[in-house]
Amino acid sequence: MLFNSFVFAAFAPLAFAGHFLLRGAARRWWLVVASWVFYGWANPWYVLLLWTSTILDFFVGQRLGATDDPRRRRLWITASLVGNLGLLAVFKYTGFFARAGNDLMAALGLDWSLPVPELVLPVGISFYTFQTLSYSIDVYRRQLEPERDFSTFALYVAFFPQLVAGPIERATHLVHQLRRERRHLARPEALDGLGRVFWGLTKKVVFADWFSVYVEQVFSNVHQATPLELFLGINAFAFQIYLDFSAYSDIAIGLGRLLGVELMENFRWPYLARNIAEFWHRWHISLSTWLRDYLYIPLGGSRRGRWKTVRNVLIVMFLGGLWHGANYTYVVWGLWIGAALALHRLWSETLGKTVERRVPAPVRVPLAVLATYVTMLAAWVFFRAPDLGSALDYFAGFGGDWADVTGLDTPDARRTMAFLAVAVLAHLARGLGWVRRPTAHWPTWAHGVFWGLLVTAMALLHAPVGEKFIYFQF
Amino acid sequence: MRTARALVGAALVGALVFLGAEATARRVAPTPDPSSYDAPRNPYFLRAWPEYTAPRPPRPADEERIVVLTNSQGYLRERADGRETWPARLEEFLRARGRNAQVLNWAVPGASGAELALLAARAVEHRPEVVLVVSYSENFGPFWRRKEISFARSDVPELAYLPEVRRRLPASFLRSVDAYEPLGWLQAHLTLMDLRSRLFEWRERWTFVPVEPKRPPERKLVLHEARNFALLADLLHPLARARPRPRVLLVAMPLNPEGFEDLAPAAAFAAACRTWAERADWITARDATHLFPADVYYGPRHFRPEAHRAFAEWLLPDVERLLDER
């Protein structure tokens, strides 16, 4: 079910009504069933996978809590890892690895090929498998007591506001909130929560979807596009993906707040980051912290010398890229960012400190922000292109005539430039400290005016395409 | 309770802001002239003249009215002047023969039979003497009856959410084209949503701008095989029930003989039109598929201006006869 659909507009009041009318386990079960309906709306069979993951990790958690024997504990955590990663491997990566094997065989000149299964990727599988995995690992590490109540655990896995595209919540943060009996919904939370939902919807249907119209045009005509069109196209995609994904997080956080649950923030103005490491502290925070806590640190993090740190960063970003999708483009995207992170680390250990001392902040900071943004622009080419060849064609297109402005004299290009100008100005205002989030202190009528303006903006400015959220595919 | 009051209060204020914006939009939105041939086109939605969504104008007692339901062939995107289209020429010829006739050209580029059926239901309001349907198999294939109406690229689907149009169409049609989308309903009833495309299109795009004529196709086009023309029955449904009932002229439209691999599907459509004409005395069918040689076409389907004139001349006797029969 899509947040930006009318089915959801009918579903949400029902889910909320049950939540506020029921008590205790009945309330939790109501939300669990609602979440399963939400997830299975497009394809009810997907719910079976959700149930598999839920039952597996609930059971593993119980067994981990019941034994102190290290061997048994290792056995149970292995069962969780194999089960969850197995689901991902089967549904997400079987085809990719089969194709990769076939490519390798062809490269070696062997006339042998694997059958490539065409499985439909269940929506959001990467998100909830990582969420359940984090629970089992935390219990294994004794950082968390296993959850005894199945309804609470099932709700932790399936909580509909963040089920399909995150934030990837940790049990340590979410479970106790779900277990807690419904408390009084305070006025600021309610008003701010609903405002956040409207804001997220506006970002999605007005900005992200309009950007997608132009992005699609450019990426499907790479060979005909001028360098300026390509440049505008990739800038549009940078903001499309940011606004699209952060819109989903805004809606999830707003809905959670209306249900009395505080979900973690997933984005903090990432394009204001001054280096690539800071970018990853601001972008998809729930995934980057997951990768840090469950992959980077267990690999040794940055404690085992410079080159092992570089190796760890590359491994983590390689897997982070693969998490996004079973395609070489995502692998290259991950490795590109991994390389940038490693270079940044080497830079900050050597020349970076000198530059920081000698170059004044008003010059250094804007240049650093720009350099980080451009690094991500290059990464987004790989992320958006359908295959590596198309990505390389995109880069090759930049070698054309930069003085050719003909492609920019179209309504779509002008609209995209206008929207980009709005986005850049908003970032500039935020970077200079002019934008805060003051809505919590607004009077009730001001919230009403804000909502009315956002709904008006959606009616007047919404894009003609009803695009799915990009991160649904992951 | 305090929270609930705050939520309701804020929602009311929000609703007021939204309704104020909608009222303003209604005031500033242009009202197209239904009889105009230079009414602005909306290039984004590839629609034709927007008069079918405009209020029905008062009709002089002695006026004869003909509504044309057709596709891009009646649109003449290659020229800047709508008066060169064959419906405009037809009106010119009828007037030259002393008739006070008005021809409403509802040509929609890329129209599906479903869109033409909606337009037929709308046409009834204009109490036309004659409804002229000029189309071919591609517009009426079974694909279009199974496809959601929201898929259409024109703004005709808005009509599917107007009660006066819906009640004239068969329920099975509304179900099969899924005319139950809340977003479609909003699109049809909110002027704010209509204003959107004007905001995102520059003013010059809202006037007649000729497009580059198509060169002769390098490869011949292949028409989809179509035997079931149920959409034709949907289109005729509101016209059959209209009182007074208009005369209907079904024309299998002219096609470039060198533009297509095989014209058998077009012939099947012409045969379906003939079958309807044999069944109902208020329907006349004509097959114009092979009417013109290849050199009067811009591409596989679009006429050059001289062919628009010739086609209007070809239609004239039938249209006059139908007008006289009433």
Cβ–Cβ under 8 Å, residues A276 and A375: yes
Contacts of A190 in chain B (CB under 8 A): 3, 6-7
Highest mean pLDDT among B58-62, B142-146, B246-250, B298-302: B246-250
DSSP string, B41-97: P-TTTT---GGGGSPPPP--TT-EEEEEEE-GGGT-TTSS-GGGSHHHHHHHHHHHT
Q: What is the phi/psi pair of residue A289, to 5°?
A: -75, -30
The three-class DSSP label of residue B107 is strand
pLDDT of residue B32: 56
pLDDT of residue A438: 66
Where does the pLDDT of residue A228 fall: very low under 50, low under 70, confident under 90, or very high at 90 and above?
Answer: very high
Contact A448 B10 (CB under 8 A): yes
pLDDT of residue B36: 47
The three-class DSSP label of residue B101 is strand
A54 has a pLDDT exceeding 90: yes
Tell me the two tokens of residue A385: 């292109």
A252 has a pLDDT exceeding 50: yes
Cross-strand partners of B287? B252
A225 has a pLDDT exceeding 60: yes
Inter-CA distances, A360 with A355, A357, A363, A370, B190, Å: 9, 8, 6, 16, 54
Contact B14 A6 (CB under 8 A): no
Chain segment A398-415, per-residue pLDDT in tens:
998 888 888 888 878 988
Give the residue with greater pLDDT, B123 vs B32.
B123
pLDDT of residue B54: 57
Q: How much of chain B, in percent, has pLDDT values that exceed 90?
A: 43
Contacts of B199 in chain A (CB under 8 A): 460-461
Mean residue pLDDT across chain B: 83
Contact B18 A459 (CB under 8 A): yes
Contact A451 B201 (CB under 8 A): no
Name which of B226-230, B256-260, B268-272 the model is least confident about.
B226-230
Q: For B169-295, where are the alpha helices, taking DSSP H only?
A: 171-176, 182-189, 191-200, 230-241, 264-279
Q: Which residue of B has its CA nearest to A8?
A: B182
Q: What structural domains does chain B harbor? A: 40-53+65-325 (3.40.50.1110)
Contact A411 B193 (CB under 8 A): no
pLDDT of residue B96: 95
B7 has a pLDDT exceeding 90: no
B12 has a pLDDT exceeding 70: yes
DSSP conformation class of A220:
T
pLDDT of residue B41: 46
Whether B163 contacts chain A with CB within 8 A:
no
Average pLDDT in the A114-130 region?
A: 82
The three-class DSSP label of residue A342 is helix
Average pLDDT in the A181-200 region?
A: 84
Whether B15 contacts chain A with CB within 8 A:
yes
Contacts of A448 in chain B (CB under 8 A): 9-14, 16-17
Average pLDDT in the B135-162 region?
A: 83
**Which of B11, B182, B199 is closest, CB to CB, to A461?**
B199
| Distance (Å) from the alpha carbon of B150 to chain A's nearest alpha carbon | 11
Chain segment A413-462, per-residue pLDDT in tens:
988 999 999 999 988 888 777 777 667 678 889 999 999 999 999 988 88
Cβ–Cβ under 8 Å, residues A151 and A66: no
| Distance (Å) from the alpha carbon of B21 to chain A's nearest alpha carbon | 7
Q: How much of chain A, in percent, has pLDDT values that exceed 70?
A: 96
| Distance (Å) from the alpha carbon of B197 to chain A's nearest alpha carbon | 8
Distance CA B45, CA B185 (A): 17
Contact A452 B17 (CB under 8 A): yes
Chain segment B49-78, per-residue pLDDT in tens:
455 555 556 677 788 999 999 988 887 777
B40 has a pLDDT exceeding 50: no
Contacts of B200 in chain A (CB under 8 A): 210, 411, 415
Cβ–Cβ under 8 Å, residues A172 and A138: yes
pLDDT of residue A474: 59
Contact B17 A453 (CB under 8 A): yes
Q: Which residue of B has its CA nearest to A194?
A: B7
Q: Which residue of A has its CA nearest to B17?
A: A452
Average pLDDT in the A319-323 region?
A: 90
pLDDT of residue B110: 80
Q: How much of chain A, in percent, has pLDDT values that exceed 90?
A: 55
Whether B240 contacts chain A with CB within 8 A:
no
Whether B28 contacts chain A with CB within 8 A:
no
pLDDT of residue B204: 46
The complex scores an ipTM of 0.76
| Distance (Å) from the alpha carbon of A102 to chain B's nearest alpha carbon | 36
Where does the pLDDT of residue A91 fall: very low under 50, low under 70, confident under 90, or very high at 90 and above?
Answer: confident
Across the A:B interface, residue pairs with CB atoms under 8 Å apart total: 90
A467 has a pLDDT exceeding 70: no
pLDDT of residue A327: 85
**Residue-wise over A87-120: b if at least 16 C-beta within 10 A, else e?**
bbeebbbbbbeebeebeeeeeeeeeeeeeeeeee
Whether B222 contacts chain A with CB within 8 A:
no
pLDDT of residue A237: 96
Average pLDDT in the A265-270 region?
A: 93
Cross-strand partners of B70? B107, B134
Where does the pLDDT of residue B224 fall: very low under 50, low under 70, confident under 90, or very high at 90 and above?
Answer: confident
B271 has a pLDDT exceeding 80: yes
Contacts of B6 in chain A (CB under 8 A): 187, 190-191, 444, 447
Contact A448 B9 (CB under 8 A): yes
pLDDT of residue B48: 47
Whether B227 contacts chain A with CB within 8 A:
no
**Which of A452, A453, A460 is closest, CB to CB, to B15?**
A452
Whether B190 contacts chain A with CB within 8 A:
yes
Contacts of B15 in chain A (CB under 8 A): 452
Contact A190 B3 (CB under 8 A): yes
Average pLDDT in the A377-389 region?
A: 94
Contacts of A414 in chain B (CB under 8 A): 202
Catalytic residues of A: 324
Contacts of B47 in chain A (CB under 8 A): none
Contact B7 A191 (CB under 8 A): yes
Q: What is the phi/psi pair of residue A403, to 5°?
A: -85, -10
| Distance (Å) from the alpha carbon of A15 to chain B's nearest alpha carbon | 17
Cβ–Cβ under 8 Å, residues A462 and B196: yes
pLDDT of residue B44: 42
